[in-house]
Amino acid sequence: MQETSLYAPVKRFLESLDFTVKGEVGGCDIVGLREGEPPVVVICELKLQFNLELVLQGVDRAAACDEVWLAARMSARGKGREHDRRFRALCRRLGFGLLAVDGKGKVELLLSPAAVPPRRDPKRRSRLVEEHHRRKGDPSIGGSTRQKPIMTAYRQEAIACAAAMADGPKRPRDLKLVAPRAASILLHNYYGWFARAERGIYALTELGQAALQSQGVLDGPPQVAPFQVEQLGAKLGA
């Protein structure tokens, strides 16, 4: 059993509480937003068992959200930390919610998160909310940090730029509809996918072509028909 197997049942549980849930946002296994002004932000960390490392992760995340949830697999014989009153008492003092997932994917609420005096990190919280809003769909499974690269909103926009350029060089303004940050993405060229063909015009590099092929967006040789934006949305989980 892997941490990623916990993602779907925990996501369903949080969605039942009216949160919009996405995996692997800003280094967190799960980030959920509930509409409001400001939105309610929850972070949930996943582990195969309840342990101190999971609690420490929760402590680290607490400044960036309104609620912290810790989720782990339910111990088969009922002897795990989730049944230890001291462990629950610690999580209660920290204000953390606890969720246990059994072998059939059923989620049991062990402890609801409680309001504690906030120690907020506004910048970190703002980055999480922005990334959650920008990311199309939910392309990354929570708990999958070892499966690189994570499909961030920035990477989605870079792929959108590359896909739109598959039929030839483009100007940044030609790409703004599919990637609002196109100018910055082309200029900084973080992934090495783009090259300046002439002033103000960019073309795909071999790395860019390979990236499209690895995503299944581009098949066959570089010379392809113009890319359809609707196709991109399907590929990226929109």
Structural domain includes residue 221:
yes
Range of the domain at 110: 4-134
Condensed to tens digits (0 to 9), the pLDDT of residues 59-74 reads 999 999 999 999 999 9
For every residue of 13-79, which 3-state class applies, written as one string? Answer: HHHCCCCEEEEEECCEEEEEEECCCCCEEEEEEEECCCCHHHHHHHHHHHHHCCEEEEEEECCCCCC
Condensed to tens digits (0 to 9), the pLDDT of residues 76-86 reads 776 778 888 89
Q: Do 110 and 170 lie in a common domain? A: no
Residue 19: φ, ψ to 5°: -95, 140
Q: Do 120 and 200 lie in a common domain? A: no
Structural domain includes residue 139:
no
Structural domain includes residue 93:
yes
Q: Do 115 and 202 lie in a common domain? A: no
CB atoms within 10 A of CB 49: 13
Q: Count of residues for the chain?
A: 238
Q: Do 99 and 182 lie in a common domain? A: no
Structural domain includes residue 102:
yes
Q: Which of 106, 134, 162 is the last residue of a domain?
A: 134
Q: Do 129 and 157 lie in a common domain? A: no
Condensed to tens digits (0 to 9), the pLDDT of residues 88-135 reads 999 999 999 999 999 899 999 999 998 766 667 888 889 999 999 999
Q: Residue 156: which pLDDT band, with cuts at 50, 70 and 90? A: very high
Q: Residue 221: which pLDDT band, with cuts at 50, 70 and 90? A: very low
Q: Do 195 and 129 lie in a common domain? A: no
pTM above 0.85, yes or no: no
| β-sheet with 40-47: strand ranges across | 20-25, 28-34, 40-47, 67-73, 97-101, 107-111
Q: Do 22 and 120 lie in a common domain? A: yes
Structural domain includes residue 141:
no
Structural domain includes residue 204:
yes
Distance from C-alpha of 177 to C-alpha of 78, rounded to nearest angstrom? 53
Q: Do 112 and 180 lie in a common domain? A: no
Structural domain includes residue 143:
no
Structural domain includes residue 236:
no
Q: How many domains does the chain have?
A: 2
Q: What is the CATH number of the domain that holds 161?
A: 1.10.10
